[in-house]
Amino acid sequence: MDKTLIHIGYPKTGTTWFQNSFFNKIQNFSFIDRREVKEDFILPNSLDFNADKIREKYKGISKPLILSHELLVGGMIHMGGINGILTQEFAKRLNAVFPNAHIIIFIRNQIDHIASAYNQYIRGGGNLNINKYLYQDSFDALNKFFFFSFAFLEFDKIISFYKTRFGENNIHVFMYEKFKDNPEQFIKEFCSQFDIKANLSDINYEPTNISFRKYIKPIFKSANLLYRRAVIHKINFFKLDKFHETVKYRLNLWNKHKIFGQFEDSKQILGKKNYDFIKNYYKEPNKKLIDQHGLVDIKKYNYPL
Protein backbone atom coordinates (compact mmCIF):
# COMPACT_ATOMS: atom_id res chain seq x y z
CA MET A 1 0.00 0.00 0.00
CA ASP A 2 1.23 3.48 -0.88
CA LYS A 3 1.72 5.27 2.44
CA THR A 4 2.27 8.68 0.89
CA LEU A 5 0.37 11.34 2.84
CA ILE A 6 -0.60 14.57 1.07
CA HIS A 7 -1.96 17.38 3.20
CA ILE A 8 -3.70 19.80 0.82
CA GLY A 9 -5.11 22.39 3.25
CA TYR A 10 -7.42 24.27 3.59
CA PRO A 11 -5.56 27.50 4.34
CA LYS A 12 -6.34 28.88 7.82
CA THR A 13 -6.77 25.45 9.38
CA GLY A 14 -3.41 25.21 11.18
CA THR A 15 -1.34 24.26 8.12
CA THR A 16 1.63 26.44 9.13
CA TRP A 17 1.70 24.81 12.55
CA PHE A 18 1.58 21.30 11.04
CA GLN A 19 4.45 22.10 8.69
CA ASN A 20 6.69 23.91 11.19
CA SER A 21 5.92 22.08 14.43
CA PHE A 22 4.80 18.54 13.62
CA PHE A 23 5.47 17.10 10.17
CA ASN A 24 9.17 18.03 10.36
CA LYS A 25 9.53 16.00 13.58
CA ILE A 26 8.14 12.72 12.24
CA GLN A 27 10.74 9.97 12.28
CA ASN A 28 9.39 7.25 9.99
CA PHE A 29 8.28 9.50 7.09
CA SER A 30 10.23 11.89 4.88
CA PHE A 31 8.67 15.33 5.08
CA ILE A 32 9.12 17.23 1.81
CA ASP A 33 9.83 20.92 2.32
CA ARG A 34 6.81 23.06 1.37
CA ARG A 35 9.03 25.07 -1.00
CA GLU A 36 9.75 21.92 -2.99
CA VAL A 37 6.06 21.03 -3.07
CA LYS A 38 5.32 24.50 -4.39
CA GLU A 39 7.99 24.24 -7.09
CA ASP A 40 6.91 20.77 -8.18
CA PHE A 41 3.11 20.91 -8.02
CA ILE A 42 1.90 24.51 -7.79
CA LEU A 43 4.12 26.79 -9.86
CA PRO A 44 4.59 24.83 -13.13
CA ASN A 45 2.63 25.97 -16.15
CA SER A 46 -0.15 23.48 -16.87
CA LEU A 47 1.28 22.86 -20.34
CA ASP A 48 4.74 22.16 -18.92
CA PHE A 49 3.89 19.92 -15.97
CA ASN A 50 5.86 16.67 -16.28
CA ALA A 51 4.49 13.97 -13.97
CA ASP A 52 7.09 11.39 -15.06
CA LYS A 53 9.97 13.66 -14.12
CA ILE A 54 8.55 14.46 -10.70
CA ARG A 55 7.65 10.82 -10.05
CA GLU A 56 11.25 9.86 -10.80
CA LYS A 57 12.52 12.55 -8.43
CA TYR A 58 10.65 11.10 -5.45
CA LYS A 59 11.15 7.45 -6.33
CA GLY A 60 14.54 7.23 -4.66
CA ILE A 61 13.37 8.29 -1.20
CA SER A 62 13.28 5.20 1.03
CA LYS A 63 10.79 6.34 3.66
CA PRO A 64 7.11 7.04 2.98
CA LEU A 65 6.49 10.66 2.04
CA ILE A 66 4.54 13.51 3.59
CA LEU A 67 3.74 16.47 1.35
CA SER A 68 1.98 19.51 2.76
CA HIS A 69 0.98 22.81 1.21
CA GLU A 70 -2.20 24.74 1.92
CA LEU A 71 -2.36 26.01 -1.67
CA LEU A 72 -2.81 22.50 -3.06
CA VAL A 73 -6.54 22.74 -2.38
CA GLY A 74 -6.72 25.55 -4.93
CA GLY A 75 -4.83 28.55 -3.55
CA MET A 76 -5.50 31.01 -0.78
CA ILE A 77 -9.12 31.60 0.19
CA HIS A 78 -9.12 35.06 -1.37
CA MET A 79 -8.25 33.36 -4.67
CA GLY A 80 -11.35 31.17 -4.43
CA GLY A 81 -9.78 28.23 -6.25
CA ILE A 82 -10.14 30.33 -9.42
CA ASN A 83 -13.64 29.00 -10.02
CA GLY A 84 -12.49 25.46 -9.19
CA ILE A 85 -9.95 25.42 -12.01
CA LEU A 86 -6.89 25.34 -9.75
CA THR A 87 -8.53 22.84 -7.42
CA GLN A 88 -9.01 20.36 -10.28
CA GLU A 89 -5.62 21.07 -11.83
CA PHE A 90 -3.65 20.48 -8.63
CA ALA A 91 -5.62 17.32 -7.87
CA LYS A 92 -4.82 16.07 -11.37
CA ARG A 93 -1.11 16.73 -10.83
CA LEU A 94 -1.02 14.97 -7.47
CA ASN A 95 -2.93 12.00 -8.83
CA ALA A 96 -0.60 11.66 -11.81
CA VAL A 97 2.43 11.37 -9.51
CA PHE A 98 0.90 9.65 -6.45
CA PRO A 99 -2.29 7.86 -7.61
CA ASN A 100 -2.64 5.83 -4.39
CA ALA A 101 -1.78 8.56 -1.91
CA HIS A 102 -3.80 9.31 1.18
CA ILE A 103 -5.24 12.83 1.03
CA ILE A 104 -5.60 14.85 4.24
CA ILE A 105 -8.12 17.71 4.23
CA PHE A 106 -8.82 20.05 7.13
CA ILE A 107 -12.07 21.99 7.15
CA ARG A 108 -13.35 24.76 9.43
CA ASN A 109 -16.66 26.40 10.35
CA GLN A 110 -17.10 28.76 7.40
CA ILE A 111 -18.03 31.73 9.59
CA ASP A 112 -14.72 31.58 11.45
CA HIS A 113 -12.89 30.45 8.31
CA ILE A 114 -13.86 33.52 6.30
CA ALA A 115 -13.17 35.88 9.20
CA SER A 116 -9.71 34.36 9.63
CA ALA A 117 -9.07 34.52 5.88
CA TYR A 118 -9.93 38.22 5.84
CA ASN A 119 -7.44 38.85 8.65
CA GLN A 120 -4.83 36.91 6.65
CA TYR A 121 -5.61 39.06 3.62
CA ILE A 122 -4.84 42.16 5.72
CA ARG A 123 -1.62 40.61 7.01
CA GLY A 124 -0.67 39.79 3.44
CA GLY A 125 -0.92 43.41 2.30
CA GLY A 126 -4.62 43.94 1.61
CA ASN A 127 -6.59 46.94 2.82
CA LEU A 128 -10.09 46.76 1.35
CA ASN A 129 -13.01 46.55 3.75
CA ILE A 130 -14.81 43.26 4.38
CA ASN A 131 -17.57 43.95 1.84
CA LYS A 132 -15.17 44.73 -1.00
CA TYR A 133 -13.18 41.65 -0.03
CA LEU A 134 -16.21 39.36 -0.19
CA TYR A 135 -18.15 40.77 -3.15
CA GLN A 136 -16.74 41.65 -6.57
CA ASP A 137 -19.74 43.48 -8.01
CA SER A 138 -17.53 45.80 -10.05
CA PHE A 139 -16.02 42.88 -11.98
CA ASP A 140 -17.63 40.93 -14.80
CA ALA A 141 -17.28 37.38 -16.10
CA LEU A 142 -13.79 35.84 -15.88
CA ASN A 143 -12.36 38.70 -13.81
CA LYS A 144 -14.43 37.54 -10.82
CA PHE A 145 -12.70 34.16 -10.78
CA PHE A 146 -9.49 35.53 -9.26
CA PHE A 147 -11.00 36.78 -6.01
CA PHE A 148 -12.92 35.46 -3.04
CA SER A 149 -15.59 32.86 -3.79
CA PHE A 150 -18.12 31.48 -1.33
CA ALA A 151 -18.25 28.29 -3.41
CA PHE A 152 -14.61 27.53 -2.55
CA LEU A 153 -15.69 26.69 1.00
CA GLU A 154 -18.45 24.30 -0.03
CA PHE A 155 -16.36 21.47 1.35
CA ASP A 156 -18.65 18.69 0.17
CA LYS A 157 -17.77 19.35 -3.47
CA ILE A 158 -14.01 19.14 -3.02
CA ILE A 159 -14.24 16.07 -0.77
CA SER A 160 -16.43 14.32 -3.36
CA PHE A 161 -14.10 15.30 -6.17
CA TYR A 162 -11.02 13.93 -4.38
CA LYS A 163 -12.85 10.70 -3.58
CA THR A 164 -13.46 10.14 -7.29
CA ARG A 165 -9.75 10.72 -7.98
CA PHE A 166 -8.10 8.81 -5.13
CA GLY A 167 -10.82 6.51 -3.80
CA GLU A 168 -13.13 7.00 -0.86
CA ASN A 169 -10.92 5.14 1.62
CA ASN A 170 -7.93 7.36 0.82
CA ILE A 171 -9.61 10.66 1.73
CA HIS A 172 -9.32 11.73 5.36
CA VAL A 173 -11.23 14.81 6.51
CA PHE A 174 -10.53 16.49 9.84
CA MET A 175 -12.15 19.41 11.60
CA TYR A 176 -9.82 22.23 12.59
CA GLU A 177 -11.94 22.84 15.68
CA LYS A 178 -11.23 19.35 17.03
CA PHE A 179 -7.50 19.96 16.65
CA LYS A 180 -7.78 23.40 18.28
CA ASP A 181 -9.82 22.05 21.23
CA ASN A 182 -7.15 19.56 22.29
CA PRO A 183 -4.08 19.57 20.01
CA GLU A 184 -2.13 17.06 22.10
CA GLN A 185 -4.89 14.44 22.01
CA PHE A 186 -5.60 15.14 18.33
CA ILE A 187 -1.96 14.55 17.36
CA LYS A 188 -1.82 11.32 19.36
CA GLU A 189 -4.85 10.01 17.48
CA PHE A 190 -3.48 11.32 14.17
CA CYS A 191 -0.21 9.44 14.73
CA SER A 192 -2.08 6.26 15.57
CA GLN A 193 -4.29 6.50 12.48
CA PHE A 194 -1.39 6.87 10.05
CA ASP A 195 1.21 4.80 11.95
CA ILE A 196 3.36 7.88 12.54
CA LYS A 197 6.29 7.82 14.96
CA ALA A 198 7.37 11.09 16.54
CA ASN A 199 8.63 12.34 19.88
CA LEU A 200 5.48 14.14 20.94
CA SER A 201 7.18 15.69 23.97
CA ASP A 202 9.30 17.82 21.61
CA ILE A 203 6.27 19.44 19.99
CA ASN A 204 5.30 23.03 20.78
CA TYR A 205 1.50 23.27 20.61
CA GLU A 206 1.31 27.07 20.73
CA PRO A 207 -0.69 28.44 17.75
CA THR A 208 1.32 30.08 14.97
CA ASN A 209 -1.20 32.79 14.06
CA ILE A 210 -3.54 34.80 16.28
CA SER A 211 -6.41 37.16 15.50
CA PHE A 212 -6.16 40.94 15.38
CA ARG A 213 -6.77 43.22 18.31
CA LYS A 214 -9.35 45.88 17.57
CA TYR A 215 -6.97 48.81 16.94
CA ILE A 216 -4.21 46.91 15.13
CA LYS A 217 -6.20 46.17 11.98
CA PRO A 218 -6.68 49.84 10.91
CA ILE A 219 -2.95 50.42 11.41
CA PHE A 220 -2.21 47.37 9.25
CA LYS A 221 -4.61 48.53 6.54
CA SER A 222 -3.10 52.01 6.48
CA ALA A 223 0.45 50.67 6.34
CA ASN A 224 -0.54 48.47 3.40
CA LEU A 225 -1.01 51.61 1.30
CA LEU A 226 2.79 51.87 1.19
CA TYR A 227 3.51 48.78 -0.92
CA ARG A 228 2.13 46.76 -3.82
CA ARG A 229 2.72 43.31 -2.38
CA ALA A 230 1.45 40.74 -1.78
CA VAL A 231 -2.22 40.45 -2.81
CA ILE A 232 -3.72 41.59 -6.11
CA HIS A 233 -6.97 43.03 -4.76
CA LYS A 234 -5.95 46.17 -2.81
CA ILE A 235 -5.16 49.90 -2.93
CA ASN A 236 -1.62 51.26 -2.74
CA PHE A 237 -0.12 54.71 -3.27
CA PHE A 238 3.54 53.68 -3.23
CA LYS A 239 5.71 50.67 -4.11
CA LEU A 240 7.91 50.46 -1.02
CA ASP A 241 7.73 46.68 -1.09
CA LYS A 242 10.91 46.15 0.92
CA PHE A 243 9.14 47.50 4.02
CA HIS A 244 6.30 44.97 3.92
CA GLU A 245 7.91 42.21 5.99
CA THR A 246 9.35 44.69 8.49
CA VAL A 247 6.01 46.40 9.04
CA LYS A 248 4.20 43.06 9.33
CA TYR A 249 6.72 41.80 11.87
CA ARG A 250 6.48 44.96 13.98
CA LEU A 251 2.67 45.09 13.96
CA ASN A 252 2.41 41.41 14.85
CA LEU A 253 4.53 42.19 17.92
CA TRP A 254 2.27 45.11 18.84
CA ASN A 255 -0.74 42.83 18.43
CA LYS A 256 0.33 40.95 21.57
CA HIS A 257 -0.30 43.98 23.81
CA LYS A 258 -3.67 44.64 25.44
CA ILE A 259 -3.30 48.39 24.90
CA PHE A 260 -4.46 47.79 21.31
CA GLY A 261 -7.84 46.48 22.45
CA GLN A 262 -9.54 43.11 22.66
CA PHE A 263 -9.33 40.43 20.00
CA GLU A 264 -12.22 40.65 17.54
CA ASP A 265 -14.57 37.69 17.17
CA SER A 266 -15.86 36.45 13.82
CA LYS A 267 -19.13 38.35 13.99
CA GLN A 268 -17.31 41.63 14.67
CA ILE A 269 -14.93 40.99 11.77
CA LEU A 270 -17.68 40.10 9.29
CA GLY A 271 -20.46 42.43 10.42
CA LYS A 272 -23.98 41.20 11.15
CA LYS A 273 -25.25 41.30 7.55
CA ASN A 274 -22.35 39.20 6.23
CA TYR A 275 -22.50 36.92 9.26
CA ASP A 276 -26.17 36.15 8.58
CA PHE A 277 -25.58 35.69 4.85
CA ILE A 278 -22.71 33.25 5.42
CA LYS A 279 -24.71 31.31 8.00
CA ASN A 280 -27.54 30.84 5.51
CA TYR A 281 -25.36 30.20 2.44
CA TYR A 282 -23.62 27.11 3.86
CA LYS A 283 -26.64 25.32 5.33
CA GLU A 284 -27.20 23.00 2.36
CA PRO A 285 -23.50 22.26 1.61
CA ASN A 286 -22.94 21.43 5.27
CA LYS A 287 -25.94 19.10 5.36
CA LYS A 288 -24.20 17.19 2.56
CA LEU A 289 -21.11 16.88 4.75
CA ILE A 290 -23.28 14.86 7.13
CA ASP A 291 -25.44 12.99 4.63
CA GLN A 292 -22.78 12.13 2.05
CA HIS A 293 -19.56 12.09 4.07
CA GLY A 294 -20.64 11.21 7.60
CA LEU A 295 -19.13 14.29 9.22
CA VAL A 296 -21.70 14.47 12.01
CA ASP A 297 -19.32 16.28 14.38
CA ILE A 298 -19.82 19.52 12.49
CA LYS A 299 -22.97 19.88 14.62
CA LYS A 300 -20.82 19.96 17.73
CA TYR A 301 -18.77 22.82 16.32
CA ASN A 302 -21.76 24.88 15.20
CA TYR A 303 -21.16 24.74 11.46
CA PRO A 304 -24.07 26.49 9.70
CA LEU A 305 -26.92 23.98 9.35
5-111+145-208+283-298: in CATH 3.30.70: no
Please report the pLDDT score of residue 94 as a whole number. 98
Q: Which residues does 227 contact at the CB level (< 8 Å), separation at least 6?
A: 125, 236, 238, 239, 240, 241, 243, 244
Mean pLDDT, rounded, for 254-282: 97
Task: Give per-residue pLDDT as tens, 116-162.
Answer: 999 999 999 999 999 999 998 766 666 667 889 999 999 999 999 99
For the cut 70, the answer to whether the pLDDT of residue 200 exceeds it is: yes
Give the pTM.
Answer: 0.95
Please report the pLDDT score of residue 142 as a whole number. 67
Percent of the chain whose predicted confidence (pLDDT) is above 90: 88
Mean pLDDT, rounded, for 191-213: 91
Mean pLDDT, rounded, for 286-301: 98
Please report the pLDDT score of residue 1 as a whole number. 42
Task: Give per-residue pLDDT as tens, 86-111.
Answer: 999 999 999 999 999 999 999 999 99
